[in-house]
């Protein structure tokens, strides 16, 4: 029997890699997308399949984590074997500007989805996208037993989601797990996260289209891995015998300054000639250092990160330079035309 998966956040970086992975494994994949007046499916357009074709295995549905009734309907109609909750307002800096919206989606959205699974009476395995931001101010290295101390409305919303997932596991005997993922990046990373902001700027500066890059705190330390590898870890968590929470990380520390240096070097540029400070990019409370200990995932899931920050920076710079050459002057063009619209009725 073909396995069915439901992914919230399918249009995001992780959702697009996960959809690719599950399709390659023969799954039927259903993605929830929010309606917008502009198309937002550019990361999955290459996976397009005519939904009328009998071979089609990827389907999109309108829905939103703030709409619990819709989630119940979708769960009931799709009846998935696996649910991956990747949707969220996921930008930490933005969460200070929009704390309530962040709580409503990144926090309460999770219980709406868990409750929808229960109310629709679906027997499925549930993956919750938890995050290293749960550790916040707790010093590294961080593993599954490290105490949490979130430092942003985003982290506070995610800690609710972490605990409600565990509570549903214990209260209702659901196979519901948290993947505590450290930062993971790729050429598909959103443009306002620090790595992509840097690699896009490097491409534009190298092409003579931009002079300065304005940045916040360069001392922050992160454990940056490659997103395409992390979705394999998510899938493995749902194939395990028992529902358990896992850290996915590389175990290596890199500062924002070091990432800058590698990215600029790769294009033959000196970062000090182009980077300026702008306090708009500081956060009211910062998370100084996140460095994960992924040994449990290696032992129990056989998962290990292979791409580390320097190689990742080079992959991302190359991709952004290539994209800039293709589209010429306008970055807006990279969004492109969507080739499909979701079905309005499933």
Q: What are phi and psi of 141, to 5 degrees?
A: -75, 150
Q: In this chain, which of 48, 59, 160, 281 binds ligand F7E, going by CB under 6 A?
A: 281
Q: In this chain, which of 132, 146, 161, 250 binds ligand F7E, going by CB under 6 A?
A: 132
- For residue 133, state whether it binds ligand F7E (rule: CB under 6 A): yes
CB closer to ligand F7E, 48 vs 193: 193
CB closer to ligand F7E, 78 vs 317: 317
Give me the residue label for tokens 């590898």: 229
* CA of residue 74 relative to chain centroid, distance: 22
- Contact letters (x/-) for ligand F7E, 200-219, by CB under 6 A? ---------------xxx--
- For residue 234, state whether it binds ligand F7E (rule: CB under 6 A): no
Whether 285 sits among the annotated catalytic residues: the reply is no
- For residue 270, state whether it binds ligand F7E (rule: CB under 6 A): no
* Contacts for 322 with CB less than 8 Å, ≥ 6 apart: none
* HSE toward the beta carbon, residue 61, CA cutoff 13 A: 21
Question: Which of 8, 105, 131, 250 does the annotation list as catalytic?
Answer: 131
- For residue 6, state whether it binds ligand F7E (rule: CB under 6 A): no
DSSP state letters, 45-58: GGG---TTSTT--E
Q: By CB under 6 A, which span of 172-180, 189-197, 263-271, 297-305 interacts with ligand F7E? A: 189-197
Whether 131 sits among the annotated catalytic residues: the reply is yes
Residue nearest to ligand F7E (CB): 220
Number of residues that bind ligand F7E (CB under 6 A): 22
* Polymer length of the chain: 346
**Beta strand pairing status for 184-185 and 213-215?**
unpaired
Q: For residues 256 and 71, give the distance between their C-alpha atoms in angstroms, rounded to a whole number.
A: 38
Q: In this chain, which of 131, 161, 178, 262 binds ligand F7E, going by CB under 6 A?
A: 131
- For residue 193, state whether it binds ligand F7E (rule: CB under 6 A): yes
Nearest distance from residue 28's CB to ligand F7E, in Å?
A: 28
Contact 174, 122 (CB under 8 A): no
Dmax (CA) for the chain in angstroms is 59
Q: Going along 104-239, which residue ranges are E strands? A: 125-131, 175-181, 184-185, 213-215, 221-222, 225-226
Task: Please give the structure tokens belonging to residue 115.
Answer: 């409750």
Whether 133 sits among the annotated catalytic residues: the reply is yes
Q: In this chain, which of 61, 222, 266, 321 binds ligand F7E, going by CB under 6 A?
A: 222
Q: How far lies 162's CA from each of 94, 169, 211, 248, 319, in Å?
A: 20, 11, 42, 15, 34
CB closer to ligand F7E, 288 vs 343: 288
- For residue 146, state whether it binds ligand F7E (rule: CB under 6 A): no
- For residue 283, state whether it binds ligand F7E (rule: CB under 6 A): yes
Residues in contact with ligand F7E by CB under 6 A are 90, 92-93, 131-133, 182-183, 192-194, 197, 215-217, 220, 222, 256, 281, 283, 286-287
User: Hey, which residues are catalytic here?
Assistant: 131, 133, 154
């Amino acid at each position: 029997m073909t396995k069915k998966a439901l992914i919230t956040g399918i249009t995001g970086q992780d959702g697009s890699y996960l959809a690719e992975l599950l399709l390659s494994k023969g799954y039927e994949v259903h993605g929830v997308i929010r309606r917008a007046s502009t198309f937002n499916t550019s990361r999955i357009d290459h996976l397009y399949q005519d939904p009328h074709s009998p071979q089609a295995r990827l389907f999109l549905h309108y829905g939103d984590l703030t709409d619990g009734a819709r989630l119940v309907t979708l769960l009931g109609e799709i009846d998935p074997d696996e649910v991956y909750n990747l949707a969220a307002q996921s930008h930490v800096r933005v969460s200070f500007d929009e704390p309530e919206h962040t709580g409503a989606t990144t926090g309460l959205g999770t219980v709406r989805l868990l409750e929808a699974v229960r109310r629709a009476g679906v027997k499925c395995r549930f993956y919750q996208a938890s995050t290293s931001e749960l550790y916040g101010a707790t010093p590294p290295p961080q593993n599954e037993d490290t105490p949490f101390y979130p430092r942003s409305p985003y982290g506070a919303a995610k800690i609710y989601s972490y605990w409600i997932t565990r509570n549903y596991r214990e209260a209702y005997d659901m196979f519901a797990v948290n993947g505590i993922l450290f930062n993971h990046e790729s050429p598909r990373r959103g443009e306002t996260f620090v790595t992509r902001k840097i690699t896009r700027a490097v491409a534009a500066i190298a092409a003579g289209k931009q002079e300065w890059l304005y940045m916040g705190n360069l001392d922050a330390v992160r454990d940056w891995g490659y997103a395409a590898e992390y979705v394999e870890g998510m899938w493995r968590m749902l194939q395990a015998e028992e529902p358990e929470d896992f850290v996915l990380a590389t175990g290596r520390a890199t500062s924002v300054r070091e990432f800058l240096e590698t990215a600029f070097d790769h294009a033959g540029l000196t970062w000090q000639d182009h980077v300026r400070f702008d306090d708009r990019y500081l956060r009211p409370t910062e998370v100084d250092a996140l460095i994960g200990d992924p040994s449990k995932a290696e032992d129990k899931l056989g998962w290990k990160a292979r791409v580390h920050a320097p190689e990742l920076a080079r992959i991302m710079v190359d991709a952004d330079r290539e994209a800039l050459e293709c589209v010429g002057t306008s970055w807006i063009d990279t969004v492109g035309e969507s080739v499909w619209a979701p079905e309005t009725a499933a």
